[in-house]
A and B are shown apart, each in its own frame.
Chain A
Amino acid sequence: MDDKDRTLLSLLEEDCTTPVHDLAIMLECTDDEILSRKKSLEDAGIIGRYSAVINWEAFESGVVFAIIELKVAPEREWGYDRIAERIARFSNVRSLRLKTGSHDLQLLVTGKSMQEIARFVSEQIAPMDRIRETATHLIMKTYKENGVLYVEREEGKRLPFSF
């Protein structure tokens, strides 16, 4: 890992559709070097996958996002890992983190309705052995996601010419 890898990662994070040749010119190296760097980063699990940042709220109404916080009793030897891995397998769990604070695990969950999320929490998550408490927060509006601003605002305009 070097500075070039770091720059390559930020460029891909910003736009993973940037042509390899453009990346090579920007980073002052060959196309082959870019391809082999990408491959190493993929193999090392540093690049997870290449996906789009989508504003689902703008695409359709009726998608519900919720943050669910869990208090968990850790297991001897395993800590939080085993229960977290179980929860992570649910396909509607978009992200899952262990954090400090009043709760231990934090999930971002999607569903088609509030009822669907309520059912998920009460029927799937809460009954699990080690779950001591749940707190569900519905997301009302997203302002920024993965570094992308979702709020429209008027940008300052530059003059078409200036010295």
Chain B
Amino acid sequence: MRDFISERAKAIPPSGIRRFFDLAGQMEDVISLGVGEPDYTTPWHICEAAITSIEQGHTSYTSNTGLVTLRKELAAFLDRRYQIQYDPLSEMIVTTGVSEALDIAIRAVINPGDEALVVDPIYVSYGPCVTLAGGKPVLMPCLEKDHFRLTPDVLMEHITPKSKVLILNFPNNPSGAVMREEDIKGIADVVIDHDLLILSDEVYAELTYEGKHCAVASIDGLWDRTVTLSGFSKAFAMTGWRLGYFCAPKEITAAALKIHQYIMLSAPTMAQYGAIEALRHGEEPMEHMVREYHMRRNLFVDGLNRIGLPCHLPEGAFYAFPSVKQTGLTDQEFAERLITEAGVAVVPGSVFGTAGEGHVRCAYAVSRNDLSEAITRMGEFLQNL
């Protein structure tokens, strides 16, 4: 029989956490700090809105771009919170999670051979999506000494004549790093000089603890060369609803919409009705969750530093990214021994790129009791090393 598997599928790596998944499955009483999603269930008023939409028979497709009401609410939300303006009728697509938004954005702009500059460490799907589109991901290490932010120098070093796209994700998964307004302004000139397009995944925007989130598209000169990608998963605790959005200037939106039409048609209808409710009445419950993450972050990062795992203060998302270098273990070894010997699950940083080596990602989206129990277990583990 022929080898049916495509070269493109072969070119992307398998998931880096399969082994840990299996380990966690075998053990009891594991505290998992390995989960990249909120521990909250979706606020009930949002669920009710979705249930009602089903009761009312809203079970068919929506327009490809999503419900107009939802897009209008979204446009108002983005303007109100981040001072970025998009026309709901021609510059927005409601997608099946940010994952799809990212995929259609990349496919809409990448030609074979184009290089996409990707910050490293980063959520695992960016590189493979570029590869699948025929492009070449170029990883740019964002180091701890720079608070895991992208600096103009690092960006410059990696630009070649083939560079076309810059993929950002701040607040960052896995480091929790935030690019403040001055940091984005710092790279804006380089982006404009080299005529790059930014794909900015800002799904953790609402989870910003020191000051306000700065949207990339809000910086002078960047709006018309930025695709803003985000979604409802993190801020509104709606991961399972699979709802995201894509916002960009008209021409780019039109190109991405063609891909979206063929691969997805439209985002789940009941999820869209839930999202309308989230935008209309969900900001207060959301702020409540954000305050809680903020306090957990303080507790957890303090605990990590206390037991001897140095950790910079993550300014956003719900991840702490401590260094484990001083233990003499690699991040893979550390994570594997931590789960088998202490019953605490974390994700090795190298899964998120070479710049993540020597770190582990700990999601503090778990109850405060579990966080302090995890700190106790990790402290004992370190003492017994």
Q: Are A25 and B298 in contact (CB under 8 A)?
A: yes
- Inter-chain CA distance A142–B24, complex, in Å, is 37
| Bound-complex Cα distance A155 to B30 (A) | 17
Q: Provide the main secondary structure of the chain A interface.
A: loop
Q: Return the chain A residue nearest B20 by Cβ.
A: A161
Within 8 Å by CB of B39, from A11, A22, A27, A158, lies A158
Inter-chain contacts of A159 with B (CB < 8 A): 21, 35
Of all chain B residues, the one with the shortest Cβ separation from A158 is B35
8 contacts between A and B (CB under 8 A): A26-B298, A26-B299, A160-B21, A160-B24, A161-B345, A162-B37, A163-B36, A163-B125
B372 to A, closest residue via Cβ: A22
Cβ-defined contact, B37 with A158, below 8 A:
yes
Once the chains are docked, how many angstroms separate the CA of A158 from the CA of B42?
A: 13
Flag B35-57 by CB within 8 Å of A: 1 or 0 each.
Answer: 11101010000000000000000
A161/B124 contact (C-beta < 8 A), A22-B299, A25-B302, A156-B41 known: no
Are the C-beta atoms of B124 and A163 separated by less than 8 Å?
Answer: yes
In whole Å, how far is B285's beta carbon from the nearest beta carbon of chain A? 13
Q: Are A163 and B298 in contact (CB under 8 A)?
A: no
Q: Tell yes or no: B244 within 8 A of A by CB.
A: no
Q: How far is the CA of A11 from the CA of B295 in the complex (A)?
A: 10
Contact present for A162 and B299 (CB under 8 Å): no
Q: Complex Cα distance A90/B102, Å? A: 64
Residues of B within 8 A of A156 (CB): 41, 240
- Complex A-B, nearest 7 residue pairs according to Cβ-Cβ distance, in ascending order: A26-B295, A160-B24, A161-B34, A162-B36, A160-B32, A25-B302, A161-B17
B350 in the interface, Cβ–Cβ < 8 Å?
no
Q: In the complex, A16 Cα to B363 Cα: how many Å?
A: 25
Say if the beta carbon of B13 comes within 8 Å of chain A.
Answer: no
**Which residue of the partner chain A has the closest CB to B294?**
A26
Closest to A27 in B: B295
Residues 141-163 of chain A: 1 if any B CB is under 8 Å from the residue's CB, otherwise 0?
A: 00000000000000110111111
Q: Does B266 contact A (CB under 8 A)?
A: no
Q: How many A residues face the partner with a CB closer than 8 A?
A: 16
Please determine whether A161 and B35 come into contact, CB atoms closer than 8 angstroms: yes
Check: A28 CB closer than 8 A to any chain B CB.
yes
Listed in ascending order, the chain B residues whose CB lies under 8 Å from chain A are 17, 20-21, 24-25, 30, 32, 34-37, 39, 41, 123-125, 173, 240, 291, 295-296, 298-299, 302, 345, 347, 351, 368, 372
New A-B pairs, 9, CB < 8 Å, besides A26-B299, A162-B35: A7-B291, A22-B368, A25-B302, A156-B240, A159-B35, A160-B20, A161-B34, A163-B17, A163-B36
Q: A159-B35, A162-B34 are in contact. Are A25 and B124 (CB under 8 A)?
A: no
Using a CB–CB distance below 8 Å, which chain A residues touch chain B?
7, 11, 18, 22, 25-28, 155-156, 158-163
Instruction: Tell me how far the C-beta of B91 lies from the nearest C-beta in chain A, rounded to whole angstroms.
Output: 29
Q: Which residues of B sit under 8 angstroms from A22, Cβ to Cβ? A: 299, 368, 372
Minimum CB–CB distance from A157 to chain B (whole Å) comes to: 10
Neighbouring B residues of A162 by C-beta, 8 Å: 34-37
Bound together, the chains give a CA A22 to CA B25 distance in angstroms of 32
Min Cβ gap A31→B in Å is 13
List the A side residues contacting B240 at CB < 8 Å: 156
CB atoms of A28 and B41 under 8 A apart: no
Q: Report the minimal beta-carbon distance from A29 to chain B, rounded to whole angstroms.
A: 10
A98 to chain B, nearest CB (A): 28
Q: What residues on A are CB-neighbors of B347 within 8 Å?
A: 161, 163
Which residue, B240, B302, B345, has most C-beta atoms of chain A within 10 A? B302
Contact partners of A26 in chain B: CB under 8 A: 295-296, 298-299
Q: How far, in angstroms, from A28 to B302 measured CA to CA in the complex?
A: 11
**Contact A160 to B41, CB < 8 A, known contacts A25-B302, A26-B298:** no
B345's partner among A11, A28, A155, A160 (CB-CB below 8 A) is A160
Please judge, given known A-B contacts A25-B302, A155-B41, whether A161 and B21 are in contact too, CB under 8 Å: yes
Which residue in chain A gives the minimum CB-CB distance to B16?
Answer: A163
Task: Find the A residue at minimum CB distance from B123.
Answer: A163
A-chain residues with CB within 8 Å of residue B24 when the two chains form the complex: 160-161
In the complex, A158 Cα to B367 Cα: how many Å?
13
Instruction: Write the chain A residue with the least CB distance to B124.
Output: A163
Q: Contact between B298 and A28 (Cβ–Cβ < 8 Å)?
A: yes
Which residue of chain A is the closest to B301 with respect to CB atoms?
A25
Residue of A nearest to B27 (CB): A160
Kindly provide the distance from the CB of B287 to the nearest chain A CB, expressed in whole angstroms. 11
A160-B25 in contact (CB<8A)? yes
Give Cα A7–Cα B298 distance, bound, in whole angstroms.
14
- How near does chain B come to A134, taking the closest CB pair, in angstroms? 35
**A163 / chain B contacts, CB cutoff of 8 Å:** 17, 36, 123-125, 173, 347, 351
